[in-house]
Structure 1
Amino acid sequence: MIELKLVDESSFQAVLDLKISEADERARFVAPNVRSLADAWLYRKNEDVFPMAIYWDKQVVGFLLLEIDKDEAEYFIWRIMIGQQYQGRGYGRKALEVLIKEAQMDRACSHITADYVVGNEKMKHLLTSLGFQETEFIEENNEIAMRLDLKKEE
């Protein structure tokens, strides 16, 4: 079972130890987790950026940096990565499914946005398969922005 938990003292080192493939690293598809944790720390006073460890049972298998923008009624997936040794097992999909369910239960959230670096076909396929739609090209970052409008259960 996949769980998303805030990074804390018990998961901090495991998150830092997660690595991506050399090919993905060269392509710069995702920033290193140390950068993501630094970003979360920089924005900590805003209380809207949440570094999440992705757990499979009791093992940290990935990392997700989430921004919750209440003014925009949005969950923004700033970054998501699954450690190289855990890829290909569906953990990324399951983590996003958990996040989507959480967002659907949050009455203040109307949509989820994410983006991916052009050329990252795995991320494009994953987001598309979950119902995300392309919204724009962000030239300065060479990224495609995507959006998932949430269906709320009454």
Structure 2
Amino acid sequence: MKTIDLTPLYRNTVGFDRFASLLDNAFRAESAAGGYPPYNIESLEENNYAITLAVAGFTQEELNINVERGVLSIRGEKHKVEGKNFLYQGIANRTFERKFNLADFVEVTGADLENGLLTISLLKVIPEAMKAKTVSINTNKKPIFDVEKEMTV
């Protein structure tokens, strides 16, 4: 497995300490998952996203969706079908687990299972304190505080 040296990135950034571990986990998870089940990630509108997984043959009871510490996990555990004698079985019938690292402030808002597709809805909710704001420059010549006044108190 290849590792990426992110040292140059850290020279100009602050607060991205877990970025390297996110990349490392993403590479490890992708190679372990083996491409099953296939999925799409869509940007629907500003701050609205959807992850769709092809889970043909799985029922709602056989699927488990969990979010913990910024990681969305989807697990499918297929129950064995008794009494069937397959001549050929091409439909995947194996347990899987897919993990997605969610950005800060991304919340799972719902999930739908229809026609063999599991769609998970995501919403990025940015708090007001984190939104960009314009700071006006004071054209007034007054100092922000009076040094002489502060020293005499």
Fold shared per TM-score above 0.5: no
**Higher relative helix content:** 1
TM-score normalised to structure 2 length: 0.27
Q: Which has the larger radius of gyration?
A: 2
TM-score normalised to structure 1 length: 0.27
